[in-house]
């Protein structure tokens, strides 16, 4: 009997995990003009911000490449089949994390999307754009991965 209950539990767990991974798409969250705040409160340099972003991204398995002055590209490949790419413009006073591209992430640039009342909302201020009609949407894991990147970057900058 215990074996049967264990087997039922495992099966239900796998079904629940698969259902979570197959959730419907959510509006893309872009983090725009996030203020650079160091623990000392002292100003920093563009080079220090670039280094902090690179350290943070690499700690989360993102690959970082230069995309011109004051701009980086971050790419995350998950399980060899999901890829997201973000543009990260930065300066000594602010940085942003902006959607650029994705593979196998259910991206739709113009899906009819109401406000998604149950959508996960981070405590950090996000884009103030007001959407009407359609919104670009993506698998919800994208928003989780970029929020993790945001928090790690803020941590690295704060501890400079």
What is the model's pLDDT at position 41?
Answer: 85
Q: Is the predicted pLDDT of residue 31 greater than 50, yes or no?
A: yes
Biggest CA–CA distance in the chain, Å, is 65
Q: What is the mean pLDDT of the chain?
A: 83
What is the model's pLDDT at position 112?
Answer: 60
Judge whether 136 and 71 are in contact, CB under 8 Å: no
What is the model's pLDDT at position 149?
Answer: 98
What is the model's pLDDT at position 135?
Answer: 85
Torsion angle of C-alpha atoms 126, 131, 136, 140, degrees rounded to 10: 50
Alpha-carbon span 49 to 51, nearest angstrom: 5
Which has more pLDDT, 85 or 2? Answer: 85
Q: In which band, very low, low, confident or very high, does the pLDDT at 144 lie, cut at 50, 70 and 90? A: very high
Mean pLDDT of 57-82: 97
What is the model's pLDDT at position 138?
Answer: 96
What the block records as the tokens of 93 is: 């006073």
Q: Which of 73, 99, 86, 90 is nearest to 35 (CA)?
A: 90
pTM: 0.75
Taken in order 149, 150, 155, 160, the sign of the CA dihedral is: positive
The pLDDT > 90 percentage for the chain reads 64
Which has more pLDDT, 144 or 6? Answer: 144
């Amino acid at each position: 009997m215990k074996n049967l209950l264990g087997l039922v539990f495992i099966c239900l767990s796998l079904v629940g995990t698969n259902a979570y991974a197959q959730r419907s798409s959510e509006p893309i969250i872009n983090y725009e003009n996030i203020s650079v705040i160091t623990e000392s409160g002292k100003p920093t340099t563009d080079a220090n911000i670039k280094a902090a972003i690179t350290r943070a991204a690499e700690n989360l398995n993102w690959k970082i490449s230069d995309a011109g002055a004051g701009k980086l590209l971050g790419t995350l490949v998950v399980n060899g089949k999901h890829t997201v790419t973000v543009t990260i413009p930065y300066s000594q006073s602010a940085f942003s994390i902006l959607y650029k591209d994705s593979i196998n992430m259910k991206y739709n640039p113009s899906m009819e999307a109401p406000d998604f009342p149950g959508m996960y909302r981070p405590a950090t201020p996000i884009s103030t754009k007001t959407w009407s009609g359609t919104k670009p949407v993506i698998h919800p894991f994208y928003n989780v991965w970029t929020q993790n990147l945001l928090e790690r970057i803020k941590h690295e900058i704060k501890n400079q």
